Amino acid sequence: MYDNLDNFYRNLGAVMINPISAIGVVSLKIGQAPIEIIEAFTVPSEKRPDILVEVKRALRVEGLLYLATCNRVEFWVCLTDDQKIIDMRNGLIDFFFKGRETADRRGLEPSCFHLETGRDAVRHIFSVAASLDSVVVGEAQILGQVKEAYKQSQDWDLNDSVLDSVMAAAFNVAKRVRTETDLGRKAVSMASLVSERMERILAEMPEMQIALVGTGPMCVKMAEIIRKKYDSPLIFVNRTASKAEQLAEKYSGRAVTLKDFLEGRHPVDIIISSTSSPEPLFSTHNIDNLIAPGGHLYAFDLAIPRDFAADLASDRRLFYWDIERLNERSQENRRERFRVADQARKIIDDQAVAFVKKEIAQMISPLFYASLSETSSSAEEGLEELFRKKLGHLSEEDRQILHYWSRKLVSRACFAPAKILADQIVETDLEDCLELATLFRGQKRLAAAH
């Protein structure tokens, strides 16, 4: 058992600030940060294992999960005792902007970042996994992306036990939101936002040539949508011809290499591009090669970093949509889904509280085991003395029943404070609880002095 109250409160303070308070989020997303800034923090998929290991080392964090989608980049971390979430933001800026020109930092402001720690970070992670914080509220793709990011964190030895427990709870919350609300029904996806605009284009000119650049999930989804409605000629473009050929065979199209496409051997009317290229694929140097004889090009850039160079947005021959422009349309979806989103938010808030309460109770419980052992011994000794002096007439069966209920009541009495304290911590800021604990400890010292 703890020698004195000072030891108890010292250990109590330690479990109260770890690990829940150690969870942190640094987030950048469309509508909050310029797309150029989000691009700067985007790690190319083929380089992620090495770069993210370096990021974890540079930040000196216990755990790291990196999430990159078509509209956000997030770093979920487990901080050490002496770290603040602002340290993480500043460390990420130093890492990703090291050696860059001053001009590259244009648009980099504190408002670009969303920072959370503790249970607010838990709630944020739950919201992202449940698609309540997406550009397109309710879209299902984000959960798969979060699961993939978590798997990568495990495969590359970036995660820790704190992130493990948070992610397990996040996946459960996402499942509950999807099954207990209508949030996922008839959800507007990023692909459907593109499809909505293409319908207007193809309604007048269904024979338009369409190029899908990349072989990722977004291009596959767009191929499915196009083929369900149109017989338009489809070209699948990829650096590796074999991957493009697989999609071309499945969706009745043609496969071409990126090199041939950029050299102008297959001009098109519409380009839908979603690759992981760290540099723009399309620029003023090659755009003339891509435009069909009609003289205009409809371009949908669904990549971060962008596949189209920024200066092409002003080219009069291009009708250009990137993630930011599509985000404007998605706001209508968000407004229409307020009622359902509120239901989902209630589930997320309740589950965030339940998660923190469970974690705190588990962390506090060991502090009460020594008390249980000592109290149980005292209770057993007291019962035996009672049997000798007062209750000698009881049968062995009756004595065993009393022993059973004694152990049960002692156990409840010892661990009830852990549950009550966990409830109190959840309902109050952790820092406030620590302050109250310190104050209470001081009052005990004062009373002992008198």
Q: Dump pLDDT digits (tens) for 374-388.
A: 778 888 888 888 888
In angstroms, the CA 243 to CA 249 distance is 10
pLDDT at 398 over 70: yes
CB 89 within 8 A of CB 26: yes
Position with higher pLDDT, 417 vs 401: 401
Collapsing DSSP to helix, strand or coil, 280 comes out as: coil
Q: Dump pLDDT digits (tens) for 201-229.
A: 888 788 889 999 999 888 998 999 899 88
C-alpha atoms less than 13 angstroms from C-alpha of 57 in its C-beta half-sphere? 8
In angstroms, the CA 67 to CA 279 distance is 20
CB 241 within 8 A of CB 225: no
Task: Kindly tell me the burial class for residue 163, based on how many C-beta atoms sit within 10 Å of its own C-beta (0-12, 13-18, 19 or more).
Answer: buried
CB 234 within 8 A of CB 254: yes
The length of the chain, given as a count of residues: 450
Q: Could you give the domains of the chain?
A: 18-183+337-358 (3.30.460.30), 190-333 (3.40.50.720), 365-449 (no CATH)
Q: Dump pLDDT digits (tens) for 296-316.
A: 899 999 998 899 998 898 888
Cα–Cα distances (Å) from 184 to 9, 16, 179, 329, in that order, read 46, 36, 8, 18
pLDDT at 138 over 90: no
Q: Dump pLDDT digits (tens) for 342-361.
A: 888 899 988 988 887 777 77
> Whole-angstrom distance between the N-terminal and C-terminal Cα of the chain?
25
In one letter, which amino acid is 431? Answer: E
Q: Which two tokens stand for residue 390?
A: 């007062």
In angstroms, the CA 138 to CA 131 distance is 5
* pTM: predicted TM-score of the whole model, two decimal places: 0.69
Place of tokens 């990722």: 216
What is the widest separation between alpha-carbon atoms in the chain? 108
Smallest CA-to-CA distance from 262 within 225, 211, 224, 228 is with 211
Q: Dump pLDDT digits (tens) for 250-263.
A: 999 999 999 999 99
